[in-house]
Amino acid sequence: MATGRRNAGVLALFDVDGTLTAPRKAVTPEMLQFMKELREHVTVGVVGGSDLVKISEQLGKSDGDEQKSAPAKLPFPSLHASGLGLCSYPAAAAPVRGRRRRSGTAAMAAGGRRNAGVLALFDVDGTLTAPRKVVTPEMFQFMKELRQHVTVGVVGGSDLVKISEQLGKSVIIDYDYCFSENGLVAHKNGELIGTQSLKSFLGDDKLKEFINFTLHYIADLDIPIKRGTFIEFRSGMLNVSPIGRNCSQEERDEFEKYDKVFPQGWDKTYCLRYLEEFQEIHFFGDKTYKGGNDYEIFESDRTIGHTVTSPEDTAEQCRSLFISK
């Protein structure tokens, strides 16, 4: 860009687990810093399936004493949790790894100002962070730089507490958009802009019936281990774990493949209803294959999909797309 000012017309929307953080881990200082840089270039958002509290545990500040004294804000502005305004988009788009359904200009506004019409939206685990890990300082700084060029967001399936653990407790302000629980809880520039409740959607009677059935079913399962906390109630979903969420990381890794059931339309594409203003939305995620939790939003006609293999790959692709040109 000529002057390097932020392109508010571009939104980068990120998943949380595996995109901005390692699965269920806090964002690293490097990734947190990267997201801050990214927000100087584009509007940034996050979207996750978890509630805002858990997303904030992953994406909240991870810088020692400052984190302890800081208010419960997230370092990234994102959609569900708040918007990651840390991505940067240059004059022309680089080749996309993955499927591209429409051409993206990734162009900056006249005079090199931030392109507000372009959004870079990021998954967390495997995209902004290593799976279940905290965002690195380098990635955090890069996101800040990116926000100077385009709008930046994160989107994750976890609740806000878990997302903030990876991306910092100030995730909802460090990203332009932060979407937790796939966008069922949505934040823009640190402000809550929308929520959807499974309880209000189903009603108490149906919800109780489902929980009772699930607990009876799990009780009869003959599986190698059971560790407790089999159902976690979130704002927009029930997280069911047959082995129990109290299992160790090693046990969790062994039980990697499991099914998640959402009401139709409640996957990560749910967050797109808050992004009508953007002419161009780039989504970055690692599980973009069929059956992966990034697949629906990756395939959406509303997005330009980018498949990434690690946080380092995420930063490399963003530099090529939004900053280096």
Catalytic residue among 15, 17, 51, 123: 123
Ligand-binding site membership of 125 (annotated): yes
Burial state string for 208-217 with b = 16 or more CB within 10 A and e = fewer than 16:
eeeeeeeeee
Ligand-binding site membership of 132 (annotated): yes
Whether 17 sits among the annotated catalytic residues: the reply is: no
Ligand-binding site membership of 298 (annotated): yes
Torsion of CA 306, 309, 311, 315, to 10 degrees: -50
Ligand-binding site membership of 245 (annotated): yes
Catalytic residue among 15, 17, 51, 125: 125
Ligand-binding site membership of 99 (annotated): no
Ligand-binding site membership of 252 (annotated): yes
SS (H, E, C) 176-199: CEEEEHHHCEEEECCEEEEECCHH
Residue 155: both structure tokens together? 């989107």
Ligand-binding site membership of 259 (annotated): no
Task: Let me know: does 156 contact 76? Beta carbons within 8 Å.
Answer: no
Ligand-binding site membership of 313 (annotated): no
DSSP state letters, 148-174: TTSEEEEEBSS-HHHHHHHHBTTHHHH
Question: Phi and psi for 198 in degrees, rounded to 5?
Answer: -65, -35
Whether 123 sits among the annotated catalytic residues: the reply is: yes
Q: Write out the binding residues for alpha-D-mannose 1-phosphate.
A: 132, 234, 245, 252
Catalytic annotation, residues: 123, 125
Q: Write out the binding residues for Mg(2+).
A: 123, 125, 286, 298, 303
